[in-house]
Structure 1
Amino acid sequence: MRVAVPRETAPGERRVALVPETVSKLRDAGFEIRVERGAGAAAGFLDESYTAAGADLVDADALLDGVAGVVRVAKPSQKESEALAPGTVLIGFLQPLTDAEGISRLRERGVVAFAMESIPRITRAQAMDALSSQATVSGYKAVLLAADRVPKLFPMLMTAAGTIAPVRALVIGAGVAGLQAIATARRLGAVVSGFDVRPAVQEQVESLGAAFLDLGVRAEETAGGYATELTPAQQEQQQAALAERIPDFDVVITTAAVPGRRAPKLIPASAVKRMRPGSVIVDLAAETGGNCELTVPGEVVERGGVSIVGTTNLPSLMAYHASQLYSRNVAALLQHLAPNGELALDWEDEITAGACVTRPKEASA
């Protein structure tokens, strides 16, 4: 199976779908990899390293000639979609729940598209779980962004001039990103608390050395690992309880998100108003509207002396390792779809059927 790796064109996207390390392993597994010149440069992977790994380097106009598959990070533009031949296997973050037009375009082209967001959350598919790998990067980077902006030292320091109290940090949401944020903040020396409406994650939060913040709001966990939606009354209770507790913290990192929906509003403007000047909120849900009422997606704003970081696509800010992790996810999916480099789509398989968002008509019968 010949697979193409294009250079990403989405604004601000620095990642690459396959890194040289993975290209070498895929070549050994029977794949032929074609890489657009400069595809990995923004992530720190030079063309020479791809050549050394066994990839064929080509210019953009020759990239898709005779390829059976295309792997990328971000969804293709309209022009990129129209360049794909019918029957091409496409793998990437395709936003199937929010970009109906883009998915329809791929379907009309006859592209067999697999969305990395749609990989089933089952044990057998863990190596393909790109949402988790990239959330790990986001949780780590969120803490660094907070540490850079808060005018305080994270750890407690005992000096000749006296003792400096540590930063108090609150992480809202104990999914993959939240747990990584907790672990990173703890490593930097902060006193950390974690909050989640799922009681089952309390043990995970505490195992990382953080206190579990119990606000009396409970929700069950779905099969996909997400919290069930709260009732309007529960949402009001949660907002009120958080508004009471948030002023106690110097740093707040929010990670609550529901796939395909707007992010739940957890921090009202009134709560931000009560925070101490110099405090920082890093909103990892900014891309879908934000967990804070005052978040501006893609921007860092200041309200009453409180910095609210709405920076989106945090994994792209750590492009080298984010690409490395994503590349391994993509390679695992490729090898699942094409054992020994031979495409063999099994529509009875839970992973193949679950991840495909533009299944061919003959396979749907």
Structure 2
Amino acid sequence: MAPMIVGVCGEAAPGERRVALVPDAVGTVQALGLEVLVESGAGTAAWLPDLLYRQAGARVATRDELLRRADILVGVRAPAFPAGHRFRHGQVLIALLDPLRIPFDVRRWADEGVTAIGLDLAPGTSVLARPMDAVACQDRLAGYKAALLAADRFGHPLSGTVVPTAPRAVRALVLGSDAAARQAADVLRRLGATVAVEDPLTPYGPRLPGLLAGADIVITTVRPRQGLPPPVLVTARAMAGMRPGSVLIDTAVGPDGGNVEGVRPESTMTVDGVTLIGAGRLPERIPQAASAAYSHNITALLGHLVCDGELLIDPADPVQAAMLVTHANMVLHTGVWQLIVDQTAVAGLP
């Protein structure tokens, strides 16, 4: 029997520079008894040319060949395939699917017999699933990049030496409790800043204006949950109390808004002397590191699913159950299924 083929899809989303599998991970996948097929140009934006994949033992193919031959399709984002494209029954799709945003794509995948697995749904509380937790890995990179970006844009120098070069210690405030918040705080401390971290799930609201007024750098990291927009943590009125020259970076901003009132995605503006940066896609600015981290998540998941070259999908496995969006012609993600039911009822469709 021919080995199963893992197909690495190129990314179609504007600005997306990451790739799902880097050349260094090809050997790990092959050791599982799988072949690797890479869409031509998939790694170019991350400075990973086709030649590196060939040297690692992968085959390079056109998109049409990839979609036709691959048994397991891996990507970073939910795929945007050509109109009229139909998956082959039994194909497996692995990506950061964000399925609550695309319920009717999910329904179509179920109808076509696709097994869709969302790496963004990996249960971070599970020890077994921790190596697959792509969200935490990408968040750590976002926190690292946000701290460096803040240090670069702030008017006072930060120092990694024992004696700061600034006349006083730079004061930073991180609003969040996730991996991005922890990483940003750690990097800022290493750069010499005095850092306060506030968990937005605790009742800190009355203290926030004072915390903001005393901060030179503020980084927010609270992403949306369950299809809701990100919570607004910093209002325009609260931001007005910040000192001119300070920097505020929102790492959670997206199409549905951000943690800071008035912030715009992927933009930099100055408001009353405060530099406000909407930076919700920071991992894409360091595509090689982000791709390498994501590859570790992909290979960890494949290692969990594959035994002797055979793919074993088991909805009874708690790790798989958390990530399975569709399987056996069914939508398994309860939140997506409820959206489909609600929207279908409103539209009056069968």
- TM-score interval (norm. to shorter): 0.7 to 0.9
Deviation at 1:303, TM superposition (A): 1.0
In structure 1, what residue type is equivalent to 2:188? A
Assess if the C-alpha contact under 8 Å between 2:110 and 2:330 holds in 1: no
Matched residue SS, 1:97: helix
Distance 2:284 2:162 in 1: 37
Gaps of 5+ in 1: 199-217, 219-233
2:348 counterpart residue number: none
1:347 matches 2:350: no
Q: 2:245 aligns with which of 251, 268, 278?
A: 278
1:88 counterpart residue number: 91
Q: 1:262 aligns with which of 223, 229, 236?
A: 229
1:49 matches 2:52: yes
Deviation at 1:164, TM superposition (A): 2.6
Deviation at 1:174, TM superposition (A): 2.4
1:241 matches 2:244: no
In structure 2, what residue type is equivalent to 1:333? L
1:291 counterpart residue number: 259
TM superposition score normalised by structure 1: 0.84
Gaps of 5+ in 2: 333-350
Deviation at 1:78, TM superposition (A): 5.1
- Cα 1:92–1:138, aligned 2, differ >3 Å: closer, same or farther? same
Q: 2:159 aligns with which of 149, 155, 168?
A: 155
Q: Deviations over 1:315-357 (max 9, x none)?
A: 1111101100101101111122222321121121111222111
Distance 2:261 2:281 in 1: 19
- Cα 1:81–1:10, aligned 2, differ >3 Å: closer, same or farther? farther
TM superposition score normalised by structure 2: 0.87
Q: CA RMSD in A?
A: 2.1
Q: 1:79 aligns with which of 79, 82, 105?
A: 82
Distance 1:264 1:140 in 2: 22
Q: 1:144 aligns with which of 118, 140, 148?
A: 148
Q: 1:331 aligns with which of 277, 286, 299?
A: 299
Matched residue SS, 2:69: coil
Assess if the C-alpha contact under 8 Å between 1:178 and 1:255 holds in 2: yes
Distance 1:326 1:94 in 2: 14
Distance 1:349 1:12 in 2: 36
Deviation at 1:109, TM superposition (A): 2.7
Deviation at 1:80, TM superposition (A): 7.2
Matched residue SS, 1:136: helix
Alignment of 1:1-365 (within 5 A): 1-77=4-80, 79=82, 82-121=85-124, 122-155=126-159, 164-197=167-200, 218=202, 234=203, 238-260=204-226, 261-287=228-254, 288-361=256-329
